[in-house]
Structure formats: C-alpha cells, structure tokens
Amino acid sequence: MPEEKVFKRAQQDKEQGKSPSTQAGEFVREEMHHIREGKHGARSAQQAIAIGLSKARRAGVGLPPPKQGVSSKTRAQARREKQKAKESPSHKPSTVRSRAVSGALKREGRSAASKLSLSRHARAAARKRGGQSRRQSAMKAVQTKGKIGLRGVATKAARTRKE
C-alpha cells in the first residue's frame, strides 16, 4: 500500500491540473525508492515502472490502460485495476498470493532503479517515439530550463564533444 505522502502529492498534482501520468509519477517515484532502500527488487526498470503505474491505477489515478506495444493480458489487467479503484474494496487480498509476490520481488536485483538503468530505459522509450516527438520535448526543455540551466547544458555538451 502506498504511503500517505504519495497520495497527497498525487492529489496536489491533480488539483494543479496536471496530467494523470504526472500524478502516477509519484507512485513510480515511491517504487524506485522502495527498490533503492532494499524493500524489494525488480527485473528491469520497465517492471519497476509498471509496478508503480499499477499502484497508481488502484489508488484511483485516471490513467488509461496502455494502447500499443503491450500484451492484451497486460491491457486487461490495467482495465481491472482501474475498475477496482472505482469499486469499494470488497475483500482482503489473498495473503498467500501477496506473500508469494513479495517473495519473488525480494529475489530480484536492485539495479533496476539505478540511474544508469533508468536513463537507458528513458533513452530507449524516446527512440521508440520518433525524432519529431524528441525534438518537441527538447524544445520544451529549453524553454523551461532558463538561462542558468542552459549554460550548464551547453558546458556539458562542450565537455562531451571534447572527449
């Protein structure tokens, strides 16, 4: 069960009119913290993100089920989680199943939440989106960074070119 702080931050995002994916980001962030502090592990960054999104759907964040590139089984599960959020909890989750899931996650590695792993995942996801979309997000980043931020990025780019 997500912590109360996470619910509050997601609610605050909703009140500010931010998108459901931004609200769900709070749950993903919490999941990364859990992995980093050793509560459990994950096989990949993608799995860690999926766990966070699943928790967000169950908490009532209006996140739509994934559209493409995902199995029909996963889409169906996402729909069930969204439905579960609307209904009041009718029964307690199975203790045996819950313990089995957490036991399996405990056996997984902790590197899924590392900066390297997450940056690799972000880069791969961006590559799938295509050049035009990447360009738009880069232009948006330039506008939101400000002068000091841009100076830092330019310095880093120059250093990288030098190497």
For residue 90, name the pLDDT band (cuts at 50, 70, 90).
low
Q: Is the pLDDT of residue 92 over 80?
A: no
Structural domain boundaries in the chain: 1-88+106-129, 130-163
Range of weakest confidence among 43-52, 98-107, 136-145: 136-145
Question: Burial of 61 by CB count in 10 Å (0-12 exposed, 13-18 middle, 19+ buried)?
Answer: buried
CA distance 10 to 59: 10
Q: What is the pTM of this model?
A: 0.77
> pLDDT value at position 1?
65
pLDDT at 82: 83
pLDDT of residue 43: 94
- Asked whether residue 2 carries a pLDDT value surpassing 80, the answer given is no
The dihedral over CA atoms of 31, 35, 41, 44, expressed in degrees to the nearest 10, equals: 70
Question: Residue 66: its pLDDT value, please?
Answer: 84
Task: Give the tens place of pLDDT for each residue, 36-55.
Answer: 999 999 999 999 999 999 99
Given a cut of 80, is residue 110 above it in pLDDT? yes
